[in-house]
Amino acid sequence: MTLPFTLQQLRIIKAVASERSFTRAAEILFVSQPSLSKQLKVLENRLGILLVNREKNKVSLTEAGKLFLKYSERILALCEESCRALNDLQNGDRGNLTVGASQTIGTYLMPRVLALFAQNYPQINLKVQVDSTRIITKNVVDRNIDIAVVGGNIPESLKKKLEIESFVEDELTLIIPKSHPFAINKKKVINKDDLYHLNFITLNSNSTIRKFIDNILIQNNIETKQFNIVMQLNSIEAIKTAVSLGLGAAFVSSSAIEKEIKLKTIEIVNIENIRITRTLSILTNPECYRSKAFEFFYNELWTLKNTTKT
């Protein structure tokens, strides 16, 4: 059976979908625009269906194009995987690996892990993608990421397509300014009622971490709606800076405050009988080929589990 498409045509449909422009798609594929347009037209003729809407200054996929794109991405991912497998066979312990991480992990925990891995395996080319848990999870399923570490909720619709392993516990810590009376009086443990007298700096209400913290507190009979939230910021770095400047208190991942603890710009306080932790998970696709580079990184993660504090 002769297939009605070539791999180059699959690359073209993928590039057109991502760039929404024939010109930019041609540029990233290093072909001329007329050649790209011709190949796309040949593909549509062979399939007998329109894949791309061509309007003035606007390019978009038809419903048929969107369906074909899903299969194109899967085919191309498998082609890349086969090349990695053959390269792995030929070159032994040399290879490429794409690692994913959700945002807090990618910013604070993963760089330490990657630095240690790079020291032990300098011959392996690592690529890192940091994004929301939902996007990272989807990319593992789609074979665009080999292995990932995430802290957010994994979409139920994708769980059955993944191998999910508990990695380490990440504690979400309450930090206050050095100038706060609790810090001045060296009060290390506060009670639930003390929370209502703090000025809180938080991530926005749609944040996964914010929702997780609120749920834990609510389960412990704390009315988070009664908190005095003085500021909502869009990054952990901004929150830490605001706390160190004396603007309020905040819950942040313990992995995010190592520098501040060393510099003594903030203080940690514990809440009596309450500890907020979340389990970080390792995600892999059980259907994917596991290269030697993958095995090295996977084993390194488990070795580092006992030596890396989160």
- What ranges do the domains of the chain cover? 7-79, 93-168+279-305, 170-277
pLDDT value for 90: 61
Strands 95-102 and 124-131: parallel
pLDDT value for 306: 65
- From the CB of residue 162, how many other CB atoms can be counted at a distance below 10 Å? 20
Q: How far apart are CA 241 and CA 231, in angstroms?
A: 12
What is the tens place of the pLDDT at every residue in 39-63? 999 999 999 999 999 887 789 999 9
> Which long-range contacts (C-beta less than 8 Å, at least 24 apart) are formed by 231-238?
231/201, 231/202, 232/201, 232/202, 232/203, 232/204, 232/205, 233/201, 233/202, 233/203, 234/203, 234/204, 236/104, 236/107, 236/108, 236/203
32: CB partners within 8 A, 6+ apart: 26
What is the DSSP code (8-state) at residue 195?
G
Name the superfamily (CATH) of residues 93-168+279-305. Periplasmic binding protein-like II (3.40.190.10)
CA distances from 171 to 98, 147, 200, 254, 308 (A): 27, 23, 18, 6, 13
Q: How far apart are CA 172 and CA 250, in angstroms?
A: 10
What is the tens place of the pLDDT at every residue in 68-121? 999 999 899 888 878 877 776 665 566 789 999 998 898 888 888 888 888 888
Q: 69-73, 204-208, 248-252, 297-301: lowest mean pLDDT where?
A: 204-208
pLDDT value for 95: 76
Q: How far apart are CA 213 and CA 67, in angstroms?
A: 39
Q: How far apart are CA 203 and CA 209, in angstroms?
A: 8
Mean pLDDT of 141-157: 91
| 170-277 matches 93-168+279-305 in CATH topology | yes
Question: Per CATH, which fold does 7-79 belong to?
Answer: Arc Repressor Mutant, subunit A (1.10.10)
Kindly provide the residue ranges of all beta strands, DSSP E only, lying in 19-94, ordered along the sequence.
52-55, 58-61
Kindly give the interhelix angle for 22-29 and 33-47, rounded to the nearest 10 degrees.
100
pLDDT value for 88: 67
pLDDT cut 70: percent of the chain above it:
96
pLDDT value for 109: 85
pLDDT value for 307: 64
The CATH code belonging to domain 170-277 is: 3.40.190.10
pLDDT value for 310: 43
| Average pLDDT of the residues of the chain | 89
Mean pLDDT of 211-229: 92
Tokens of 137: 């999870």
Confidence of residue 239 (pLDDT cuts 50, 70, 90): very high
